[in-house]
């Protein structure tokens, strides 16, 4: 038997909340960020003053999270038909969706305590 390293940053498909239960949901393939990428986004965190937890991201933070963490989509279209996956089309996503996806990228960037080696 060969031991394999954990890969917590492997891309996975995410269905936005408003698409759950849809027959053909729009899905987004996202991945967590590595340490270098987190260094670019960390200054864009807006922290809750009492809990010190991330409560929001700046517009730049959302952009950085999506640029590093969004790797594909499917069933994404507008009145003109299917929208091809390309960074130049990221701006076609509604702001609320951009924020939801960015937070999912951030969540995927943290390794669970039980997955860490001591």
pLDDT digits over 90-110, tens only? 999 999 999 999 999 999 998
Residue 56 belongs to some domain of the structure? yes
pLDDT band at 114 (very low <50, low <70, confident <90, very high): low
The answer to whether residue 4 is domain-embedded is no
Within-domain flag for 1: no
Answer whether residue 115 shows pLDDT above 60: no
| 3-61 pLDDT per residue, tens | 665 566 789 999 999 999 889 999 999 999 998 999 999 999 999 999 999 999 999 99
Which of these, 15, 45, 48, lies nearest to 29 by C-alpha position?
A: 15
Quick check: is 7 in a domain?
no
Residue 6 located in a structural domain: no
What domain range includes position 24? 12-111
How far, in Å, CA of 95 to CA of 73, rounded?
A: 16
Number of domains in the chain: 1
> In this structure, are residues 56 and 95 in contact, taking their beta carbons and an 8 Å threshold?
no
Question: Are the C-beta atoms of 64 and 41 separated by less than 8 Å?
Answer: yes
List % helix, strand, coil for the chain (3-state, nearest 5): 40, 20, 40
Q: Specify the DSSP class assigned to residue 75.
A: S
Residue 118: its pLDDT value, please?
A: 46
């Amino acid at each position: 038997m060969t031991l394999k390293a954990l890969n917590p940053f492997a891309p996975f498909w995410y269905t936005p909340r408003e698409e759950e239960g849809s027959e053909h949901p729009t899905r987004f393939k996202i991945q967590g960020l590595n340490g270098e990428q987190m260094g670019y986004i960390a200054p864009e965190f807006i922290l809750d003053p009492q809990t010190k937890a991330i409560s929001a991201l700046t517009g730049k933070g959302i952009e950085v999270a999506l640029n590093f963490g969004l790797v594909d989509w499917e069933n994404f279209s507008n009145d003109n038909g299917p929208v091809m996956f390309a960074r130049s089309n990221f701006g076609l996503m509604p702001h609320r969706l951009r924020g939801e996806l960015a937070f999912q990228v951030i969540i995927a960037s943290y390794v669970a305590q039980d997955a860490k080696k001591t």
